[in-house]
Structures are given as structure tokens and as C-alpha cells.
Structure 1
Amino acid sequence: MSSSLAGVVLAGGASRRMGRDKATAVYAGPAGSRTMVEHVVAAVTQRCDPVFVIAAPGQTLPQLPATVLRDEVRGVGPLLAAGRGLRAAAEAGCERAFVCAVDMPLMTAELIDELAAHDGAEIVVPWDGRDHFLAGIYRTELWERVDELVAAGRRSMRALTDEVQTQRVVMAPSAALTNVNTAEQLV
């Protein structure tokens, strides 16, 4: 396990398509039935230390082997939450962090390994026909750039990836990159 790679799991999203909190939705995956946040944190903790889960204000989460940080404001998008996690990772002494969404219960440690092997860019994301901004390796120092973008009213991850050196790693379609967005996809 590399001590210079932190993990940041974004768990506080509004989950409009799901119609409920995704983090605590139970997913019946190969590792058994447990919440999506438990599935994702289990994979991330195999390769990352420390691990930070960014949750919404008042959001209830199960006990996790991670540090839970709270968004100060609900519903402002993933960029602010990612910046908060990157700042915490930088303060913990990590140079890079794997940043992912909570709705990827099939995500694997091998995916993290594959992306972490690329070290020449500020951001490394998988590409399988589309960019997966919420399943990438980010330089933790980018938290300052995130703060600037958010202050300018920009809230999407693309706002950051468009402004810094981003490497796209071409990958075959993989279950590890699957996002669960609806209640029907939970089983």
C-alpha cells in the first residue's frame, strides 16, 4: 500500500435519479449485500491510506474504516466535495488521491493500481468511450485550484480537468467503472 496515495469517496450527492441517498442504498454484489459506501470504501482501503468519505450535512452513514468529512452546504456538486477531500489528503501528507463516486460498488483495487501506475499528469482518469472523472487519480495540490473554480461559480469536475494536465487511460469496458444510478440497478 502506498502511503502517498489517499482515497476520497464522494458520498453526499443528491441522487436525483435514484430518488434516495445512494451511499446507504444496499447493493447485492459479488462481495455480498451491503451499502454502496461500504462496497466502495472496502475497495479503496485496499490501496489507499488515509481514506476520506465526503458526506452531506446530517447524512447518516454506517460505521466505516475511513474519516468522514461533511460538506458545509448541501447540493453544490462534486467539485467542492472533491476539493475538500484533496485538501484533507494534502494535509495528511499525500501527494495523490484516488477520487471516486459512491455509486461504483463494483470498483476494484486493481482499477486503482492501473490508474496509479500513471504518474505524469495532474489528473489520471479512465476512458472507455467516456471520461470517468469520478474514478481518477488527482494531485492533492489541486485543492487550491478547485477553491478558485468554485469561487468563480464553476461546479463540475470537467471544469477542473479542462484546466489542468489530464491523462486519459484507455480501458476496455469494465464492471469496475459501472455507476449505479437507479433503484432497478441495485440488484
Structure 2
Amino acid sequence: MDRRWSALILTGGTSNRFGSDKSEAILQGKTLIDYLISSIPAGVPVVIVGPARDEFATTIRVVQDDSPGGGPVAGIAAGLPLIETEYVSVLATDMPYSAALVPLLMKDLSDEVDGAIVVDEEGFQQPFSGIYRTLVLKRVLEEIAPVSGQSMRKLLNQLHVKEVRLSADERHLLVDIDTPEDLIKASVDSLARIPTRNESGNR
């Protein structure tokens, strides 16, 4: 087990397009937040930016966003002070399979880059399928402050990241659930029936 990274999960709150809190939507019998947590390897520290829930394991740390509605950069800034590992993977509950990409991304880390990030078939970077050097991310957040309302693009532009393209067999891990229709499709799609990396129930 590589313990150099932590997972920073953004729950996002209520979505206008989804109509409710996406993290509470059900996929394969689990809420999206529980699905994502269960796919993170045991022993990896987890920090969640969002409301605390009684069902969270005591090992999971939860922090509230000081700028509700301030966007994902503000959420990252809220959770990052709790990260104590060399690297952090920023994950979002509407991309429930993204944690499975972290081991792949870690193979592309080196002293020459600030992290590694997936790019989709159109060549767009996927910030919530990435892993970043924690100290560099903290420095950049200080440089672009105030963070409320800042775009992920502005944050990423300050980082030197290695871009990673997925194979055809891996692209389903980028499933992004923005609408109820997306959830239905993910639920019935055979590609959605992937095993979690922690099926034994260590979390």
C-alpha cells in the first residue's frame, strides 16, 4: 500500500441540474459518497468537504466549506489544511469511479511535475481525476486568493502536471453524473458494474 497520498472529496451540495444533493443519490445500492469512499484503498487518509454524516467511519475527517457556493477551488482550500501526505487526489462524488484511477496516475509522478491528471478523449483535463503535490497546491491557492469563485482552470494553469490518456477499457472510469438521466444510465450500464477496490469492507 502506498501511503503517500490522501483523498480529498468534494460533496458539492445541492445541484440545480440534478435537483438534489448528488452525494445522496443511489448507485448500485450505495449513495454516491459511500460508493466513492468504498473504492478508496484501506489505509489512505480521507478528508471530506461537506456535511458530516453519522455513518462516516471515525477515521474520516470532515470539514465545512467556509465559502458555501464558492465553487470547487474554495472547497479544496477548505480541506487542504487537513492533508498531511505528500500527494492529494481531489475527488468529487459525481465521479464515483475516479478513485480507481489514482494508482494509474501515480505511475506518472516524478520530481519534475506537480502531479498527474487524466485528459479525456477530447483532450480536456479532468481535475477530479488527478493527483497533486500537496505543498505546491497549497502555495498556488495562496497565490490566487481569494479562492471563492475561482475556476479550476485558473488553478490548473499554475501547475505543471503530467497528462495521462486512458485506454478504451479505462474510459468508463470517467463517468460523470450531472443529471438524474446520467444516474439511470450509469445504473443500467454494464460498465458501471465494476467491483470496488475494497470489496472486503475495510472501510
Q: Smaller-chain TM-score range?
A: 0.7 to 0.9
Question: When the two structures are superposed, what TM-score results if normalisation uses the length of structure 2?
Answer: 0.78
Evaluate the alpha carbon distance shift between residue 62 and residue 176 of structure 1 in structure 2; reply closer, same or farther with a 3 A threshold: farther
1:24 is matched with 24
1:40-99 Cα deviation digits (max 9, x unpaired): 11112x1662111111xxx3646223211111221000012123333211xx2x110111
Evaluate the alpha carbon distance shift between residue 83 and residue 153 of structure 1 in structure 2; reply closer, same or farther with a 3 A threshold: closer
1:116-169 Cα deviation digits (max 9, x unpaired): 111132131101222111111011111232133131766111111111212211
Give the CA deviation at 1:113: 0.5
1:131 is matched with 125
2:187 is matched with none
Q: Are residue 38 (structure 1) and residue 29 (structure 2) matched?
A: no
From 168, 183, 189, the counterpart of 1:186:
183
1:75 is matched with 69
| Preserved contact between residue 43 and residue 108 of structure 1 (Cα < 8 Å) | yes
1:150 is matched with 145
Evaluate the alpha carbon distance shift between residue 122 and residue 180 of structure 1 in structure 2; reply closer, same or farther with a 3 A threshold: same
Q: Could you list the runs of 4 or more consecutive aligned residues of structure 1 that deviate by over 4 angstroms after TM superposition?
A: none
2:92 is matched with 101
| Preserved contact between residue 95 and residue 176 of structure 2 (Cα < 8 Å) | yes
> Quick check: which has more Rg, 1 or 2?
2
Evaluate the alpha carbon distance shift between residue 4 and residue 181 of structure 1 in structure 2; reply closer, same or farther with a 3 A threshold: same
Evaluate the alpha carbon distance shift between residue 106 and residue 119 of structure 1 in structure 2; reply closer, same or farther with a 3 A threshold: closer
Evaluate the alpha carbon distance shift between residue 122 and residue 136 of structure 1 in structure 2; reply closer, same or farther with a 3 A threshold: same
Give the CA deviation at 1:10: 0.7
Give the CA deviation at 1:18: 0.8
Give the distance between the partners of 1:83 and 1:144, measured in 2 at CA. Answer: 11
1:88-116 Cα deviation digits (max 9, x unpaired): 11xx2x1101111111123353x110011
Give the distance between the partners of 1:6 and 1:48, measured in 2 at CA. Answer: 9
Evaluate the alpha carbon distance shift between residue 184 and residue 60 of structure 1 in structure 2; reply closer, same or farther with a 3 A threshold: farther
Give the distance between the partners of 1:131 and 1:35, measured in 2 at CA. Answer: 26
Deviates more, 1:67-76 or 1:12-21: 12-21
Share of identical aligned residues, percent?
Answer: 26
| Preserved contact between residue 5 and residue 48 of structure 1 (Cα < 8 Å) | no
Question: When the two structures are superposed, what TM-score results if normalisation uses the length of structure 1?
Answer: 0.84
Size of the aligned set, in residue pairs, is: 175
Over aligned residue pairs, what C-alpha RMSD do you find?
2.0
Give the distance between the partners of 1:137 and 1:48, measured in 2 at CA. Answer: 17
| Preserved contact between residue 123 and residue 161 of structure 1 (Cα < 8 Å) | no
2:190 is matched with none
1:164 is matched with 159
The secondary structure found in structure 2 opposite 1:134 is strand
